[in-house]
Amino acid sequence: MSRHVVVRSPARLDFGGGWTDVPPFCDEEGGFVCNVAIQRYATVRVGERQTSFGGENPEHSERPEAECILLRAVARRFNAPALDIHLSSDFPLGAGLGGSSAAGVAAIAALAAWQGRVYELDQLAETSRAIETGELGIAGGRQDHYAAAYGGALALKFGTRVEVRRLRVDGATRGELARRGILIYTGQSRISGDTISAVLDAYRRADPTVVRALRRMRELAQQMPEALERGNLDWLGSLVAEQWAAQRTLHPGIATPRIDAIIDRAVRAGAVGAKALGASGGGCVLVIAMSNRVPEVREAIAPLGELLEYEVDTGGVARCG
């Protein structure tokens, strides 16, 4: 039997501060993100090649081209073109859950393990981002890569360097978050690169609406770690609601009719806050329901998408085979 290495890395929910981890804002003013990893994983298997990479091998032939491009870029980084690298994910593609970063971190960790190399968590995160932005030209920030590497609930401060603080979130709060934090997939593709470029260009020319929104999003995110560590999900939900109000002003393409309908129904049914995840423009929406209104909120929004069950991940990237 051929030798192989299997590594998995978690997706994440971003409560607040997304966009502030993206240059040039984080470089010039400093960014802050609060997020939590979830037990929805990108899993990468590295082994001796049985057939050609990405072509005749049926494991690769049906994978989206973007995933194949990412895996090839990681293989080039490790000078490992002769290996077979297979990726599987238990979350929807383009869901705004940081899935491509989870895949990148898992692939890097798997190849490092195959070659007997040791990568620290921050090295995994930074190498994954370097491949995405430098080699593949994908615009984005750092938060997804750190969530995929570290796992758990994080407070991330971005500036000349990245400061990572693991939040002390007890088991009861993690359980309540999974119960009250309802995750729904809209079934629509995420935001386009053109919209991301438009937001960044607006910041560069000091558009007052965009600058004000980014600063407010950072301020709200800075309050979220305390809410999480206190187990106060009502407070967290209200901050999430304010975060979305600011985020949607960055660009008209960020909110969609489906997202607006989900959030409107959720609030009417008893949600304390909701926001689209990632850059938005589609993907998933996180709804935080009142403690005694979870069934009503779930029922209200269920017709508008696919409800995704999850638990909070506390381990981060891990070898599992």
Tell me how many domains the chain contains.
2
Nearest to 37 by CA among 199, 174, 209, 206: 174
Do 217 and 267 fall into the same domain?
yes
What band does 96 get if pLDDT is binned at 50, 70 and 90? very high
| Per-residue confidence (pLDDT) for residue 61, from 0 to 100 | 41
Q: How far, in whole angstroms, is CA 197 from its chain's centroid?
A: 19
Domain at 160, CATH number: 3.30.230.10
Mean pLDDT of all residues in the chain?
A: 92
Q: List the beta bridge partners of residue 286.
A: 183, 275
What band does 81 get if pLDDT is binned at 50, 70 and 90? confident
CA distance 81 to 48: 11
User: What is the phi/psi pair of residue 41, to 5°?
Assistant: -120, 150
Whether 46 and 310 have beta carbons less than 8 Å apart is answered as no
What band does 1 get if pLDDT is binned at 50, 70 and 90? very low
What band does 274 get if pLDDT is binned at 50, 70 and 90? very high
Alpha-carbon separation of residue 161 from 27, 33, 158 (angstroms): 9, 14, 6
Helical spans, DSSP H, in 12-98: 25-28, 58-61, 65-77
Do 32 and 130 fall into the same domain?
yes
Domain at 300, CATH number: 3.30.70.890
Do 155 and 217 fall into the same domain?
no
What range defines the domain where residue 204 resides?
Answer: 171-308
Do 226 and 298 fall into the same domain?
yes
What band does 66 get if pLDDT is binned at 50, 70 and 90? confident
Do 153 and 250 fall into the same domain?
no
Angle, CA 103 vertex, CA 7 and CA 187 arms, to 5°: 130
The one-letter amino acid code at 57 reads N
Q: What is the mean pLDDT of residues 255-277?
A: 97
| Residues ≥6 apart with Cβ < 8 Å to 279 | 18, 19, 96, 190, 191, 195, 196, 254
Model pLDDT for residues 133-166, shown as the tens digit of each residue? 888 888 788 999 999 999 999 999 999 899 999 9
Whether 157 and 182 have beta carbons less than 8 Å apart is answered as no
127 has pLDDT over 60: yes
Do 203 and 106 fall into the same domain?
no
Whether 21 and 142 have beta carbons less than 8 Å apart is answered as yes
What band does 63 get if pLDDT is binned at 50, 70 and 90? low
